[in-house]
């Protein structure tokens, strides 16, 4: 199947006419196998599909957008690439719905780090395509969303956001600041912190799995 993003698929163990989708979006410098490692632990009735980011960093590493450093070692994101990836993911959701027996009213994005940042941007830009987001170890960057995202109806969107309190890659404050912005848009947000660095704690996994099942 030749879709716009290379991907791995775990078919639902319980098949209906249409099944819900969990779309996994990995972090910067990783690949589609990273989050897919816990695919078999996710609920049986979902399609679990893990996408590879489009920008090749070599050595089996990929990114949703470049992160550059200036002469003073300040980091900045390539917003043009990030916006391109936002639309690639939105289009990829349509491709998945067209090619698999997926319920287009039951789509969840699970993003880690850079994949989390993209998950927020896709959900705010195209809330008709995404009903839930599991946003791990990332933050909201509204620059990546479409310009008029505040006009979108996001009232049905639900978000489970989590972060490690000792994250040295993306400071926990960045995640904390994202929550009131999301709530001000009228989004139902569940937020959790865990005493870990830049990674997914076992308790974090169990908590978002329970959130999905509820």
Would 1 be classed as within a structural domain?
no
* CA 146-173-189 angle, 5° bins: 60
Would 45 be classed as within a structural domain?
yes
CATH code where residue 165 lies: 3.40.50.1820
Number of domains comprising the chain = 1
Per-residue pLDDT tens digits of the chain, which is 214 residues long: 788 999 999 999 888 899 999 999 999 999 999 999 888 889 899 999 999 999 999 899 999 998 876 555 566 788 999 999 999 999 999 999 999 999 999 999 999 999 999 999 999 999 999 999 999 999 999 999 999 999 999 999 999 999 999 999 999 999 999 999 999 999 999 999 999 999 998 899 999 999 998 8
CB burial of residue 126 (10 Å; 0-12, 13-18, 19+): buried
**In 3-state terms, what secondary structure has residue 106?**
strand
pLDDT on residue 38: 87
Q: Which domain holds residue 171?
A: 7-213
Instruction: List, in sequence order, every residue forming a beta bridge with 51; answer none if it has no partner.
Output: 7, 25
118 near 82, Cβ under 8 Å? yes
Would 163 be classed as within a structural domain?
yes
114 near 198, Cβ under 8 Å? no
Would 98 be classed as within a structural domain?
yes
pLDDT on residue 91: 97
Would 150 be classed as within a structural domain?
yes
Residues with Cβ within 8 Å of 196's Cβ and at least 6 positions away in sequence, in order, are: 164, 165, 166, 167, 204
Residue 197 Cα distances to 29, 104, 162, 191, angstroms: 17, 34, 12, 16
Q: How far is CA 171 from the centre of its chain?
A: 18
Distance CA 202, CA 3 (A): 32
Would 2 be classed as within a structural domain?
no
Q: Can you list the alpha helix ranges (DSSP code H) found in the chain?
A: 33-36, 79-99, 114-125, 172-184, 202-213
pLDDT on residue 159: 98
């Amino acid at each position: 199947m030749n879709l716009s993003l290379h991907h791995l698929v775990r078919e639902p163990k319980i098949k209906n006419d249409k099944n819900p989708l969990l779309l996994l979006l990995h972090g910067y410098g990783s690949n589609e196998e990273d989050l897919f490692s816990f695919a078999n632990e996710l609920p049986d009735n979902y399609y679990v599909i893990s996408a590879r980011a489009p920008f090749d960093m070599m050595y089996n590493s990929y990114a949703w957008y470049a992160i550059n450093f200036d002469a003073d070692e300040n980091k900045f994101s390539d917003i043009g690439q990030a916006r391109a990836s936002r639309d690639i993911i939105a289009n990829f959701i349509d491709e998945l719905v067209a090619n698999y027996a997926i319920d287009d009213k039951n789509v969840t994005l699970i993003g880690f780090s850079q994949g989390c940042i993209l998950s927020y941007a896709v959900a705010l830009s195209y809330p008709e395509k995404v009903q839930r987001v599991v946003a791990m170890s990332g933050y909201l960057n509204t620059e990546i969303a479409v310009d008029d995202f505040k006009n979108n109806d996001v009232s049905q969107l639900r978000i489970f956001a989590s972060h490690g309190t000792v994250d040295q890659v993306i400071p926990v404050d960045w995640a904390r600041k994202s929550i009131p912005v999301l709530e001000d848009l009228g989004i139902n947000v569940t937020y959790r912190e865990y005493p870990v660095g830049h990674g997914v704690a076992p308790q974090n996994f169990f908590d978002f799995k329970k959130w999905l099942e509820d």
